[in-house]
A = this chain, B = another copy of it.
Amino acid sequence: MLSQKCKYALRTVLFLAIEGDKSCPKGGKDISTTLKIPEAYTGKILQELAKKNIITSVKGPGGGFYLSEDNLKSPIINVIEIIDGLSFFESCGLGLSKCSSEHPCPIHNDFKIAREHLKKVFINKTVLELANEIKTNDFTLVR
């Protein structure tokens, strides 16, 4: 459902939400080691997220990434949209452009139920909220 890149991105953002801090940003190397994501690829993803204002970057010695107050407020779906787009939530489960509620494909309704359940969750939950859930329960982010 989510691409590998998007899974990496979500874990990265949530990790920063839990661990990072304006006063002590996390470096790419640190993130990639902890989450077991390839280092160079982690860098690329961090760059992309920073450019789209999902995370905040600090250059130079002691630099790295953290989530600003604003960053923490963004719903999970924003991360997904930036990396994968929203086509999963909007298009037919059988790949039919003609599929619609008037002229549905054979799995239209069941696919819709599944995808809208997820969409609702991703829209309604902010990075901060999900990060808090991770801390409260002991959810895992590690492979």
Interface residues, chain A, with chain B CB atoms under 8 Å away: 1-2, 4, 7-8, 10-11, 14, 88, 93-99, 103-108, 110-111, 113-115, 117-118, 121, 130, 133-134, 137-143
- Pair A104/B140 contact, Cβ less than 8 Å: yes
How many copies of this chain are found per oligomer? 2
- Min CB distance, A19 to chain B, in Å? 14
- Pair B106/A2 contact, Cβ less than 8 Å: no
- Pair A141/B1 contact, Cβ less than 8 Å: no
- Pair B113/A117 contact, Cβ less than 8 Å: yes
- Pair A143/B97 contact, Cβ less than 8 Å: yes
State A122–B103 Cα separation when bound (angstroms).
Answer: 21
State A88–B103 Cα separation when bound (angstroms).
Answer: 27
- Pair A94/B10 contact, Cβ less than 8 Å: yes
Q: A114-B118, A115-B114, A121-B110 are in contact. Are A140 and B103 (CB under 8 A)?
A: yes
- Pair B1/A106 contact, Cβ less than 8 Å: no
- Min CB distance, A7 to chain B, in Å? 4
- Min CB distance, A62 to chain B, in Å? 29
- Pair A11/B140 contact, Cβ less than 8 Å: no
Most buried by B among A2, A14, A107, A111: A107
State A25–B113 Cα separation when bound (angstroms).
Answer: 35
Which residue of chain B lies nearest to A88 when distances are taken between CB atoms in the complex?
Answer: B1
- Pair A107/B93 contact, Cβ less than 8 Å: no
State A14–B121 Cα separation when bound (angstroms).
Answer: 32
